[in-house]
Structure 1
């Protein structure tokens, strides 16, 4: 009996030692939720003396927000192991785990709970989350910087139309799909093609560009596909690789694809499908890996209907069409373009130039049939040829002055009749249309009047111009 008592005493001492030496706070309750044992670190974690807890109900302690919430209460209610996170009155974050102890009748006789101080871990977690957010912010800022670095001078996206183009550009740049850029001459299709390449996974490799309309038909095939030694008179002895081969692992940009002869269209289609080329005069095919971007100012669908462009090639090219709007459709981009080109050419030629308000207004009113390219050319000409530092209305080409000049004259004289104003404007429109379209039939089509009316007006206003120049 004595040995049994000694064993019970030893067990109790061991139990007390375990409770007191544990780094976790341990609370033992009976089956009614009355506190029987509490470890001494309860003061440090929960801010209450252990002696004050003995005999109290865990429900009452929860109501006083000492254990908030109480894991022992949840164990008693759910009759199973429970885990919760507590925030104590001392400002600590605690993970509490409670275990039920059952008797032979499956009744809870004890609840043992362990509370592990997670304050430092949670602080580290919060710090980690803050650092993660900071890293994301830095990555976003770096991406913005990369975008600025990859932005090519002359590419402006202030208008909603160009912002949509930029969004689509960003999306398609990440994949190797074929892109077809559509739009008038001078809108910046080559600039967009370069931007797609520089934002793609192929940016470390070559961007190879060729204008299909600028090379004579007889030479275009050898330029595209290359040639072998002695394949034709004047060929290099060692042969020459074509631009498609040079674009291997990079991007191939075929500008003015609508000008490509039908015979070459068939050969190009085969290359796109098989990713293999055979040089002119050669018999052995070479494998090439390139991303294709094509551009045109033509209506390819109409050319297909007319039999001037292969339908199968059109379908191969028209995977992701991007319509680049003309400058007259995105007036918001004109002013930023002026500023960029003024800075560019002022720096290039060591000059300082600025546009006066009247000249800027003329730029904004003008339709810019030559689009961005025309803006760039006009700005360069004005920077070079204007003696004064301020570029005013009278420095501008006549085509730009247009009705602005008439309005200015009317303000000065106050006697300019409406009939004269309308006649001057009509004359400028007719003469500009003649310079742009060249034939009276084309002029009639675009001006929306009959061809005989165009002839009469052209004779009238050309005669007036000749008289005024005498």
Structure 2
């Protein structure tokens, strides 16, 4: 009898001194015992619950959910996670103890473990993982940038002045709007500004306003809380604006952004704060906005497709990148730059003949620098020898001259004469077609002064009223 009493005392001591909280009820959910760990974890004292039924405790609000009741109902172990009034998060597991003779539950033993610190560690690990992924992505971008040697190669006075302006502007946090035709290098200019700024060690996040579907754009831009919408991640997600905190956001093709999102972006710029989808919590932001478009923003404003107040906010500093046809002196350094890059990439030693370069100089490049880059690579890949000849250039370049009458001449003309003949024919035909140097300049997309100068040099008669 004494030994039995001692065993019971030992068992009670074990329960009382267990690290995890223990809550024991009978098969009808009447509270029989709790230990001091349960009191410590939950803040509920034993005198508040001993002898009371779990249904009564739930009804009174003392406990919001009873695992013991769920175990009795399901006749199997149940595990849930609860957040207590104190803010602690606990993992609660209830286990039935059966009377094997009657196959009835005689006890429910509930284990309560404080996992607040574990959850906090998990959240910190998740945040750290996001940070690591962000930095890895940035590192990858930097490596890619170095590999491709995406630097401006220019001898144009206009471009050099533009780069100087961009570098000066980079020292301030003012928002910048970069405009120019497709392919002129707006993204490269934005990257240059970021890398020259005090934010260079923070993220440079590119958001393609034309490339993200409208129904996904808002969640990509602002992020969302768990369960914010059907299909949302249970973990929620940081938006691109939040990822870019302390860095630079490059809004490419901002002219394609919907008016609804323009209004939300305006708030971000003005208030420097945002909310994730499904959340009322305000998140402070510290980002620099660089926007770009190849569209006429003023025309978009007039047609009510772009907010004028947003235009004023993003256009604190304006940078207009001229098309390649207005800075033809950049064709040769760009060809040299792309040639070096492709040679290094493919282990080749190719170069363009002077005739091929001169032919490229005569092309208007409607696709700008991007078209020239693609053209150089295409010519490299199809050329037979180490020298890329003029007749190995893409068809659209070769078609600007009468190859039978000029390039395949019988050898009596010098190269300079051939080029002059080519320009004479193009300008003469254009003047006959359009009637004035102003219209020729407009249709050939070159300045009128350049047209007049070339016509005078080639002795093409210009009307007296011009």
Note if 1:230 corresponds to 2:234. no
What displacement does 1:366 show? 0.7
Match of 1:267 in 2: 264
Measure the CA separation in 1 of the matches of 2:151 and 2:353.
21
- 1:228: how far off? 1.5
Which residue pairs with 1:286 in the alignment?
A: 283
Q: 1:447 to 1:293 in 2, by over 3 A?
A: same
SS in 1 for 2:399: helix
Distance 1:374 1:154, change over 3 A: farther
Equivalent residues in 2 for 1:20-419, closer than 5 Å: 153-406=150-403, 408-409=406-407, 411-412=409-410
Matched residues in 2 for 1:304 and 1:229: separation?
A: 37
In 1, the alpha carbon distance for the partners of 2:185 and 2:410 equals: 39
Q: Matched residues in 2 for 1:262 and 1:291: separation?
A: 21
2:149/2:341 contact within 8 Å kept: no
Of residues 323-332 and 225-234 in structure 1, the stretch that sits farther from structure 2 once superposed is 225-234
1:150 Cα deviation after fit = 13
Confirm or deny: 8 A CA contact 1:157 1:166 kept in the other structure: no
1:241 CA displacement: 0.9
Q: Structure 1 residues 405, 348: closer, same or farther in 2, change over 3 A?
A: farther
> Which 5+ residue runs of structure 2 have no aligned equivalent?
1-145, 414-421, 431-441, 445-466
Q: Could you say if the C-alpha distance between residues 379 and 201 of structure 1 is closer, same or farther in structure 2, counting changes exceeding 3 Å? A: same
What CA distance in whole angstroms lies between the structure 1 residues aligned with 2:370 and 2:244? Answer: 26
Equivalent residue of 1:408, what SS? Answer: coil
Q: Which whole-Å CA distance do the structure 1 matches of 2:276 and 2:164 have between them? A: 38
Contact 1:159 1:333 in 2 (8 A): yes
Distance 1:277 1:152, change over 3 A: farther
RMSD: 2.9
Find the residue that maps to 1:403 and give its secondary structure.
coil
Q: Which residue in the other structure is 1:463 paired with?
A: none
Cα 1:353–1:150 shift into 2, 3 Å: closer
For 1:180 and 1:297, locate their aligned partners in 2 and report how far apart those are by CA, in whole Å.
11
Residues matched between the structures, number:
281
TM-score (normalised: structure 2) = 0.56
Measured against aligned partners, the alpha-carbon deviations of 1:439-467 in whole angstroms (never above 9, x if no partner) come to xxxxxxx759xxxxxxxxxxxxxxxxxxx
Moved segments of 4+, more than 6 Å: none
CA distance in 1, matches of 2:205, 2:229: 24
TM-score normalised by L of structure 1: 0.56
Q: Distance in 2 between matches of 1:222 and 1:358?
A: 53
Structure whose alpha-carbon radius of gyration is higher: 1
Runs of 5+ unmatched residues, structure 1 = 1-148, 416-420, 430-445, 449-470
Indicate conservation of the 8 Å contact 1:206/1:249, yes or no.
yes
SS in 2 for 1:210: strand
Structure-2 change in CA distance of 1:317 and 1:219 (3 Å): same
Determine which structure has the larger helix proportion and give its number: 1
Determine if contact 1:150/1:198 at 8 Å carries over to the other structure.
no
| 1:150 and 1:199 in contact (8 A); partners too | no
In 1, Cα distance between equivalents of 2:259 and 2:379: 42
Cα drift, residue 152 of structure 1:
5.3
* Deviation of the 1:359 alpha carbon: 0.8
Is the 1:208–1:247 Cα contact (8 Å) retained in structure 2?
yes
Q: Which residue of 1 aligns with 2:417?
A: none
TM-fit CA distance, 1:410: 6.2
Tell me how far 1:281 sits from its aligned partner. Answer: 2.0
Q: Deviations over 1:128-181 (max 9, x none)?
A: xxxxxxxxxxxxxxxxxxxxx999524123101101101101210111111100
Whole-Å Cα distance in 2 between the matches of residues 338 and 386 of structure 1? 15
State the distance in 1 between where 2:266 and 2:410 align. Answer: 63
Inter-CA distance 150–207: structure 2 relative to 1 (3 Å threshold) = farther
Measure the CA separation in 1 of the matches of 2:317 and 2:399.
Answer: 39
